[in-house]
Structure 1
Amino acid sequence: MDSDTESLKKPVEKNILLDPAVLFLSAQSVVAEADPSTPLYVLSTDIRSIPNKNSSVKLERVENVDDGPDGSQGAPPKRHQHIFYLVHPEHAQYRTDIPARYYITSAVPETVGNIRLEASEARLQRTSFRALLSAGKTASDRPLFNEGAQQLVLFEIQPSGKVGLSSTSYKWSDSKGDQVATEGKENSRYYLKVTSSLPQDVRDALVATWLLRLWHDTAESKEAKREFFESMTSPEAYRESVDGYMKRQCILM
């Protein structure tokens, strides 16, 4: 990260530098290739499911508890630290009252801040992304995001690999253009290969943005859009729209 980004981030207790690692999404957990039985992060719902009725998903970091007695046997106890909300508001594509279609807000002040994910159509219909950081912001702030020059480019996410494959791989770089990670799909599992040593708070933001990008792919897929339009034309949806219309007419009378 460049000096401007570093200066705007809040300090994080025990913000040690984490080594490069390969992470996998396993249902609602993120695990490391080196120890796939121990979750590092946990989601409150499966972001890859269709349909997904949730507009906000909790992301928790799984931490070791260090206050046990010295020399204790067995695995150290764990605790879940809620760090982020991943947000995709309902019917976001039709709304103007929300800050973004896909964004992240901080549940605690010890994170990098709130993050807005911007998507843009790249060459050959392949989408690229930017993660824009409003440093120091949390879910309780209003507005949630800074504007203009106050927003920092946290990550640039560019498609890579051969065109025409069923899944696209991506290269992640920081604000200086240095690569920090790559992502793709291997044996039906989604992976994030972190290629740089990163502080804990930046690693947390990287994982959260990766998961939000995967949620984007699911929510914007042909399957999700087909399910949405089929649900809107179902008898249940028709009855709900008629009932809503009748209620509004009664109010106006």
Structure 2
Amino acid sequence: MEPEGPPESESSEKSIFFSQQEEEGEEEEDEEGKEPEETGTVNPLLQPALTGDVEGLQKIFEDPENPHHEQAMQLLLEEDIVGRNLLYAACMAGQSDVIRALAKYGVNLNEKTTRGYTLLHCAAAWGRLETLKALVELDVDIEALNFREERARDVAARYSQTECVEFLDWADARLALKKYIAKVSTAVTDTEKGPGKLFKEDKNTILTACRIKNEWLETHLEASINELSEQKQQLEDIVTPIFTKMATPSSQLYIQFPL
């Protein structure tokens, strides 16, 4: 297989998966930048994974009569020297449908290589935009870090994959809204973790706002980064005053009448 990221310069570009060794002087990170030597029998999943033959893959996984059926998962997760399996090959080849199909068999799409690269890092480095979209749809961790403390977005930027950078910025904005909704909902439903006493009216106000924002997310799948940020700010404008009131001693909020 190829390195997790594309070659640093066009002079060292080469066809995906078919070169036998790195060109002299090409700068990659130690073993992760080297192609493993060809040894043994070719993995029977390799060809369908690289060509997008989803039906062929499904036959191997689901047909008990197929000669490779019993070893299908083992073959899929078989790793090279730096911890890359065939899912990485599919990512480098931009085979989004293959990734979606294989995800149904319970594979860990957040698995990391020895240097911390995930499938998302790999797709970002190679500029496979549609594969990035597929992985994000499958709820992979877009905040995962490699050994350089880089997210997939950072790797895309390092390799000048502009469209991937823009998409991952969008995915990050969408995730930020989802996480804030979840955080607020948990805070108001878990009385032990809440910052203070929450009146029923305030609780309903917050939960209603969270529900509305969740519905907005579900119906605005193409919302822009600015729109996502605006929705988050709107929710914060509702929630912050209530949480501030919760954290304020009641003696400062209400006039105490003598009994």
Q: TM-score, normalised by structure 1?
A: 0.28
Bigger Rg, structure 1 or 2: 2
Which of 1 and 2 has higher RCO (CA within 8 Å, sep 6+)?
A: 1
Name the structure where strand makes up a greater proportion of residues. 1
